[in-house]
Amino acid sequence: MRQFPRQMGFPSDVLYNRGVVTRLGEQGSAFGSRGLLVHSRSMRQSGAVDRVLESAPQGVEIVPWQHRGGEPTLDDVEAARSRAGELDPSWIGALGGGSVLDLAKACAGLRHSGASAAEHHAGLPVETPGLPFLAAPATAGTGSEATGVSVLIDGTTGKKKAIRSPGMLAARVLLDADLLATCPGRTIADSGMDALTQAVESLLSTGATRFTRMLAGEGCRLIAASLPEVYEDPGTENAEDLLLGSFLTGMAFSSSRLGVVHGLAHPLGGYFNVSHGRVCGVCLPLALELNREAVPERYEELRELLAGDPINRIHELLNDLEVQNPFQGMSLENAEAIVRETLESGSTAHNPKPVTDGDMRWFLGCLFGESVGQLISESVGQRPEISRW
């Protein structure tokens, strides 16, 4: 096992404290006097956007631009790029959840590219330097503030893919647990299960190193311990641990990559319009069962980090967070496309057990139940049924 990744990037500077979001304008002023602030509707309603604007240093102009909501699409990126073209900012900030961060990150990274977002989404490398990106996450979390990755949906095909570039890493990250205080419980639960899944998959990934496992392990411990309490009370002191755990995990998986859950979550979430974090949460116990024999030493490490049998502990967390399987009984008409896209995913390629067509059909059988029909007729029974919904 390698000690350290051959190549790894980090955000240039990280500020971690309650109330630190009011320093966003000050931090942006290091790059120029005008910034575009991409934000969510909830951050406007909570007053966070006004706090940022009112605290801007003299001579610094911050222009707010609200994301329409939902997971970011290529059209959203082009709309943000158009606004940036009109404004000509020196930097771009993001205040909101992972969707807002991914949208603003893509806008900043592609600011000077002559190609469309769709072309980069299809695989065109990002070679032109973009604008400095400042990230203030309001959920914990996708870990987007720690990565050079922007996950976007092609609205014409429904496919969810990532644009990746080291140049899209944040120049400044502002970790302010006060931003979580107004998060709905459902958002805390879904985003928290996304963060925990990323921590677990980063630990198990074939791309992991000793260094990334240190980050992911601490992220896993912090997230699992704090998530139930933050779900009950987003204003609790434990929100700081949850936010930090998500950030550490983001740094880990940006190098190590993930596994089959994220390979499957993108097509499932896209085709069925289900929250990414919820898909990750319900798939995680299945992935642990799939990978148990491939990495028994990591399974024992997870037992210590989660303070119990990993599969049982994840089910306990899902129950505590009231996360239900959204797929049970649904019709699965696009099963072949989901299997194909999952097997082609770069995340699936880093799963510790090489994932087969039969593995995917077992996965879908556990999630969808009898509606899968003939799809899994020859695959069910390869592994125990562990779905407990």
Q: Mind spelling out the 3-state secondary structure of 298-360? A: HHHHHHHHCCCCHHHHHHHHHHHCCCCCCCCCCCCCCHHHHHHHHHHCHHHHCCCCCCCHHHH
C-alpha distances in angstroms, 145 versus 123, 158, 230, 324, 347?
Answer: 22, 24, 20, 28, 19
User: Could you tell me how many helices (H) and strands (E) the chain has, helices first?
Assistant: 16, 8
Residue 196: per-residue pLDDT: 98
Residue 1: per-residue pLDDT: 59
| CATH numeric code, 14-180 | 3.40.50.1970
Whether the domain at 14-180 and the domain at 185-376 fall into the same CATH topology: no
The pLDDT profile of the chain, 389 residues, written as one tens digit per residue, is 566 666 667 888 999 999 999 999 999 999 999 999 999 999 999 999 999 999 999 999 999 999 999 999 999 999 999 999 999 999 999 999 999 999 999 999 999 999 999 999 999 999 999 999 999 999 998 999 999 999 999 988 888 889 999 999 999 999 999 999 999 999 999 999 999 999 999 999 999 999 999 999 999 999 999 999 999 999 999 999 999 999 999 999 999 999 999 999 989 988 898 999 999 999 999 999 999 999 999 999 999 999 999 999 999 999 999 999 999 888 888 889 999 999 999 999 999 999 999 999 899 999 998 544 455 444 434 444 444 44
The secondary structure of residue 113, as a DSSP letter, is -
Contact between 289 and 348 (Cβ < 8 Å): no
- Max Cα–Cα distance, the chain, nearest Å: 68
Residue 334: per-residue pLDDT: 85
Residue 370: per-residue pLDDT: 52
Residue 48: per-residue pLDDT: 97
Phi, psi dihedral angles at 356 (to 5 degrees): -105, 170
- CATH number 2.40.50.1020 is the correct assignment for the domain at 185-376: no
What is the dihedral sign for C-alpha 89, 93, 96, 101?
A: positive
pLDDT digits 0-9 by tens, 121-137: 999 999 999 999 999 99
Please report, for the chain, the start and end positions of each structural domain, with discontinuous segments joined by +. 14-180, 185-376
Q: Mind spelling out the 3-state secondary structure of 162-230? A: EEECHHHCCCEEEECHHHHCCCCHHHHHHHHHHHHHHHHHHHHCCCCCHHHHHHHHHHHHHHHHHHHHH
Give the residues across from 93 on adjacent strands: 37, 134
Contact between 333 and 199 (Cβ < 8 Å): no
3-state secondary structure of 10: coil
Rounded Cα distance between 312 and 309, Å, is 5
Tokens of 276: 């990414």
Residue 373: per-residue pLDDT: 45
